[in-house]
Structure 1
Amino acid sequence: MYALGLGVLLLLLKYLEIGPVATWDWWWVLSPFAVAALWWAWADSTGYTKRRAVERIEQRKKDRIAKHKEAMGIRPRKPR
């Protein structure tokens, strides 16, 4: 996601001809988009994206259970 943000920033600077980016070749300006595409391809092919989504779901589930236990007056367990 950082590469995509950097790409948008460099593209804007190149388009508006601001600073030293105005003199750079377009290859340098557009390279963060290629890096972002490679990152997403790698993350999807290795299962990194799915693993992170499952971790987020599990954490939400644990937080919800702890919140309900606290509301019922039961002290949640400390992590081991």
Structure 2
Amino acid sequence: MYLLGLGILLALLKYLEIGPVAQWSWWVVLVPFGLTLLWWGWADSTGYTKRKAMEKVEKRKQDRVNKQKEAMGMRPRKPR
């Protein structure tokens, strides 16, 4: 996501001809977009994206269980 933001910023600076970016080649300005595509392709093909989403769901689930246990006056288990 940082690469995409960097790419958008550089493209905007190049288009508006602001600062030293105005003198750079368009190829240099567009490199972050290519790197973003490579990152997304790698993350999807290796399962990184899905794994992170599942971890997020599990954390929310455990937080909800802990909150319910605290409401009943029980202590939640500490992670091992």
In the comparison of the two structures, how many residue pairs are matched? 80
1:5 equivalent in alignment to 2:5: yes
DSSP-derived class of the 2:67 partner: helix
Aligned identity (percent) is 73
DSSP-derived class of the 1:42 partner: helix
| Counterpart-to-counterpart distance in 2, 1:2 and 1:79 | 32
The C-alpha deviation readout for 1:40-79, integer Å capped at 9, x for no partner, is 0011111111111111111111001001111111111122
Could you tell me the TM-score, scaled by structure 1's length? Answer: 0.96
Structure 1 segment 35-74 matched on structure 2, within 5 A: 35-74=35-74
Structure 2: any 5+ residue segments left out of the alignment?
none
Structure 1: any 5+ residue segments left out of the alignment?
none
Runs of 4+ in structure 1 deviating by more than 6 angstroms, as ranges, are none
1:32 equivalent in alignment to 2:32: yes
